[in-house]
């Protein structure tokens, strides 16, 4: 017998303020708010039907006025269906606040005394290409002596492919060894390795013909015709895009990092933005290049990570969203997040929706933690990551990303690193996806890769709907775009917390 | 003093009158006003909050940093 769904309470709000009116909500949301009211106030509220979601069971418990915020009760599993039927609302879980009483002190166990320090074990690892033995420089090497405790050492290979690591005392084995090359090779995962002072490991080069296996992106979406995605403008808010890559065409953009040249929206050296861009619209072809899922979109780069910086400020991000709106982008891809909820970014996302533009955001990669902000904003489309067996080498680090649940096709899985939760809207391929990087090509994994897969297929779908693209740039337009995507998605059998409405076909 | 984002949520670009009001605050330093909807300032939080609370359609948010999601296992 199926378990009874747990009911939760949520507050439905227009995009701004508490009341749905012309300036704060689309016509569809206005009508919806007016139509669902609790009637005579009882604790159990009133059961209501939602057009476009026939299976949805929802009760309206309370309302602020006739067209104001609604307190509703439904199962978290149904949230995805509600959002697909009415994508233009903010949906926030109910939150309770308590008196700030002082906690009583608690006793912590005293740690055991440490043994006398002993000399550390030092090793040197050399990384080479399996095909020609040449050294691989710039590869990140992460060696765990105890993986469950995350103890170990890490470094980067030098010009001769070597890295020296200092491990704990009397270490004889490595629990796990991860090698992450920057360009041209697959990553490597080795387990239970006996240590020697000098070790050499070979990496498999990336094969752009995919003759041994397709990566998951090509498995699901194949090689795309060059004209796919025409008429759609896509913003990539990221580390910048390598404008000199032969497989990419960048139509323009802006660097919104304070103190940097606004016209320098090139990749800041990290490679992340270039990889994301290639998934969406690379226009190369095997054996010398790669093809994205919507090669004909107009691609714009908004760089929010500074030169050599690992972080982007909320100001840069909000400014980039604003600029993408001004530049009439239809879709905004944000493969970033993980910080606290922020009013400025929320406001910018609301502005994007109000001006006919959809923001698509990666869920985050914290191993089944809740969906990160800003993906968790109900006006954004949040994307989780899936993988597929036999789409990467058997010794790639991607082997560590295989997890449950499996899909209707048991070769499909939700990536172990993917954040999940009721805010998830769609799922995309995000394990060992081959794409463009500065200087060549590389596989990468993450909801960062799943997000542009969804953005690119969204662009594909929108390009076949000129009637939606021709709508005035307002909330009705972005609502229609969201409805198209959420209704077109196909369930993969993972469940709504893992996949939302599913994968775009 | 910390840095704060002031964002206009009304229709259109931020009104000039509001900008002048913000500039008139004691000990405020305008860092970036190039965005049509936002100003980045360095100012005392309490005074800034009191001012923004009195200005309809404006919100305030502390400047903070977001990172690229990284699925790689990390050394503790």
Residue of chain A whose Cα is closest to the Cα of B38: A319
Q: What is the pLDDT of residue A63?
A: 79
For A133-168, write each residue's pLDDT tens digit: 999 999 999 999 988 888 899 999 999 999 999 987
pLDDT in the model for residue A444: 95
Whether B29 and chain A come into contact, CB under 8 Å, resolves to no
Is the pLDDT assigned to residue A243 strictly greater than 80?
A: yes
Helices vs. strands in chain A: H and E counts, helices first: 10, 23
Output A1 or A488, whichever has higher pLDDT: A488
Stretch A457-475: mean pLDDT: 98
Contacts of B71 in chain A (CB under 8 A): 365, 401, 415, 417, 445-447
Catalytic residue among A448, A476, A478, A479: A448
What pLDDT band is residue A110 in, cutting at 50, 70 and 90? very low
Distance (Å, rounded) from C-alpha A256 to C-alpha A315?
8
Q: Which residue of B has its CA nearest to A313?
A: B65
Q: Are A319 and B35 in contact (CB under 8 A)?
A: yes
CB within 8 Å: A336 and B67: yes
pLDDT in tens, A274-283: 999 999 999 9
pLDDT at residue A371 tops 70: yes
Per-residue pLDDT band for A305 (boundaries 50, 70, 90) equals very high
Question: What's residue A101's pLDDT?
Answer: 47
A258-267 exposure pattern, b = at least 16 Cβ within 10 A, e = fewer: bebeeebbbb
Q: Which residues on chain A are in Cβ contact (under 8 Å) with B38? A: 315, 318-319, 322, 344
User: Does the annotation mark A448 as catalytic?
Assistant: yes
CA distance B63 to chain A (A): 6
Average pLDDT over residues A372-391: 97
Interchain contact, A447 vs B61, CB within 8 Å: no
The minimum CA-CA distance between A132 and chain B, rounded to whole Å, is 27
Q: Cis peptide before A374, with omega less than 30 degrees from 0? A: yes
Chain A within 8 Å of B67 (Cβ-Cβ)?
Answer: yes
Establish, for the pair of chains A and B, how many residue pairs have beta carbons separated by less than 8 Å. Answer: 122
Hey, what are A203's tokens? 């990496």
Work out the mean pLDDT of chain A and round it to a whole number: 90
Using CA atoms, how far apart are residues A173 and A202, in angstroms rounded to an integer?
19
The shortest C-alpha distance from A215 to chain B (Å) reads 18
Q: Please pick, among A81, A238, A330, A425, the residue that the annotation labels catalytic.
A: A238
- Over range A51-59, report the average pLDDT: 87
Measured between CA atoms, the residue of chain A closest to residue B64 is: A313
Q: Do B64 and A340 touch (CB under 8 A)?
A: yes
Note if A283 is an active site residue.
no
- DSSP H or E run through A139: none
Say whether pLDDT at A108 is over 60.
no
Residue A9 is predicted with a pLDDT of: 84
- Catalytic residue, from A245, A272, A275, A283: name it: A272
Q: Which range is least confidently modeled, A42-51, A226-235, B44-53?
A: A42-51
Q: Is A417 helix (H, G, I), strand (E, B) or coil?
A: coil
Asked whether the predicted pLDDT for residue A103 surpasses 70, the reply is no
Q: Which residues from chain A sit within 8 angstroms of residue B76, using beta carbons?
A: 149-151
In this prediction, residue A95 carries a pLDDT of: 62
Q: What are phi and psi of A145, to 5 degrees?
A: -85, -25
Q: What is the ipTM of this complex?
A: 0.87
Q: What is the pLDDT of residue A118?
A: 63
Q: What is the pLDDT of residue A114?
A: 39
Asked if B75 lies within 8 A of A314 by C-beta distance, the reply is no
Distance (Å, whole) CA A181 – CA A187: 6
Phi (first) and psi of residue A463, to 5 degrees: -65, -20
**What's CA A230's distance to the chain center, in Å?**
24
- pLDDT, residue A14, reads 82
Q: Name every chain A residue with its beta carbon within 8 A of the beta carbon of B58.
A: none
CB spacing of A446 vs B9 below 8 angstroms = no
Contact B69 A23 (CB under 8 A): no
- DSSP for A440-488, please give it: EEEEE-SHHHHHHHHHHHHHHHHHT-HHHHTS-SSHHHHHHHHHHHHHH
Assess whether A197 carries a catalytic annotation: no
Whole-angstrom Cα distance, residue A304 to residue A237?
A: 7
Q: How far apart are CA A159 and CA A84, in angstroms?
A: 51
DSSP 8-state symbol, A504 = -
For residue A318, the chain B residues in CB contact (below 8 A) are 5, 7, 35, 38
Judge: B75–A446 Cβ closer than 8 Å, yes or no: no
For the segment A292-307, the average pLDDT, to the nearest whole number, is: 97
**Residue A242 contacts residue A266 (beta carbons within 8 Å):** yes
Residue A180 has pLDDT above 60, yes or no: yes
pLDDT over 60 at A99, yes or no: no
Q: How far is CA A504 from the centre of its chain?
A: 15
Helix, strand, or coil here: A151?
strand
pLDDT of res. A3: 55
Cis amide leading into A287 (omega within 30): yes
Beta-carbon separation of B68 and A150 below 8 A = no
Strands A381-388 and A412-414: antiparallel
Mutate to test the interface with B, among A315, A382, A444 (most CBs of B within 10 A): A315
What is the per-residue pLDDT for A107? Answer: 35
Identify the three-state secondary structure at position A256.
coil
Residues of B in contact with A417 (CB under 8 A): 71
CA distances, A505 to each of A148, A218, A410, A460 (Å): 38, 13, 18, 10
Query: What is the share, in percent, of chain A residues with pLDDT greater than 90?
Result: 69
Count other Cβ atoms within 10 Å, centred on residue A44. 9
Lowest-pLDDT choice from A14-28, A243-257, A343-357: A14-28
* pLDDT score of B41: 97
Question: In the prediction, which pLDDT does B76 show?
Answer: 82
Contact A344 B69 (CB under 8 A): no
Contact A240, A266 (CB under 8 A): yes
d(CA A432, CA A449): 9
- Interface with B, mutate which of A319, A333, A386, A398 (most B CBs under 10 A): A319
In the sheet where B38-43 sits, what is the strand order? B29-32, B38-43, B2-8, B58-62
pLDDT at A41 over 80: no
Chain B 9-28, residues with CB within 8 Å of chain A CB atoms: 9, 11
Q: What is the pLDDT of residue A324?
A: 97
């Amino acid at each position: 017998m199926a378990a009874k769904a747990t009911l939760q309470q949520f507050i439905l709000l227009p995009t701004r303020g508490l009341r749905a009116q012309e300036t704060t909500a689309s016509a569809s949301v206005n009508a919806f708010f007016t139509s669902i009211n609790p009637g005579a106030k009882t604790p159990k509220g009133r059961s209501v039907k939602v057009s476009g979601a026939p299976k949805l069971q929802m009760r309206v418990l309370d309302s602020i006025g006739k067209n104001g915020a609604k307190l509703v009760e439904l199962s978290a599993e149904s949230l995805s269906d509600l959002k697909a039927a009415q994508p233009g609302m903010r949906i926030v879980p109910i939150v309770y606040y308590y008196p700030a009483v002082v906690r009583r002190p608690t006793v912590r166990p005293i740690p055991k005394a440490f043994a006398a320090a002993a000399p550390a074990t030092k090793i040197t690892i050399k990384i080479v290409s399996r095909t020609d033995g040449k050294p691989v420089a710039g590869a990140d090497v992460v060696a765990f002596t105890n993986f469950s405790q995350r103890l170990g050492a890490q470094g980067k290979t030098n010009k001769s492919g070597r890295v020296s690591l200092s491990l704990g005392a009397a270490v004889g084995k490595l629990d796990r060894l991860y090698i992450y090359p920057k360009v041209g090779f697959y990553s490597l995962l080795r387990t239970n390795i006996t240590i020697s002072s000098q070790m050499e490991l070979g990496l498999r080069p990336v094969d752009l013909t995919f003759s041994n296996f397709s990566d998951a992106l090509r498995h699901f979406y194949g090689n795309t015709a060059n004209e796919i995605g025409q008429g759609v403008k896509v913003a990539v808010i990221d580390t910048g895009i390598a404008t000199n890559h032969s497989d990419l065409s960048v139509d323009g953009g802006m660097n919104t990092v304070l103190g940097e040249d606004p016209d320098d929206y090139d990749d800041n050296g990290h490679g992340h933005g270039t990889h994301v861009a290639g998934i969406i619209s690379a226009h190369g072809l095997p054996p010398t290049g790669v093809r994205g899922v919507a090669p004909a979109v107009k691609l714009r780069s908004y760089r929010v990570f500074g030169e050599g910086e690992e972080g982007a400020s909320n100001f840069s991000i909000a400014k980039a969203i604003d600029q993408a709106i001004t530049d009439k982008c239809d879709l905004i891809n944000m493969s970033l997040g993980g910080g606290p909820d922020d009013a400025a970014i929320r406001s910018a996302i609301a502005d994007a929706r109000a001006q006919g533009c959809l923001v698509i955001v990666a869920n985050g990669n914290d191993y089944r933690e809740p969906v990160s902000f800003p993906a968790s904003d109900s006006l954004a489309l949040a994307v989780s990551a899936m993988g597929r067996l036999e789409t990467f080498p058997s010794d790639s680090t991607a082997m560590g990303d295989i997890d449950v649940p499996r899909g209707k096709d048991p070769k499909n899985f939700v990536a172990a690193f993917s954040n999940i939760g009721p805010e998830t809207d769609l799922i995309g391929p995000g394990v060992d996806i081959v794409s463009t990087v500065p200087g060549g090509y590389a596989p990468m994994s993450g909801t960062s890769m799943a997000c542009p897969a969804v953005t690119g297929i969204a662009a594909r779908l929108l390009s076949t709907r000129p009637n939606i693209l021709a709508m005035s740039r307002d909330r009705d337009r972005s609502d229609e775009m969201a409805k198209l995507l959420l209704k077109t998605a196909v369930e993969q059998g993972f469940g709504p917390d893992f996949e939302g409405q599913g994968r775009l076909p | 003093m910390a840095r704060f984002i002031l964002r206009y949520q009304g229709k259109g670009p931020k009104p000039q009158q509001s900008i002048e009001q913000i500039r008139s605050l004691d000990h405020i330093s305008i860092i970036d006003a190039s965005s049509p909807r936002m100003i980045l300032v360095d100012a005392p939080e309490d005074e800034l909050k009191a001012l923004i609370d009195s200005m309809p359609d404006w919100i305030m948010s502390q400047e903070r940093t977001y990172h690229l999601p990284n699925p790689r296992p990390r050394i503790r």
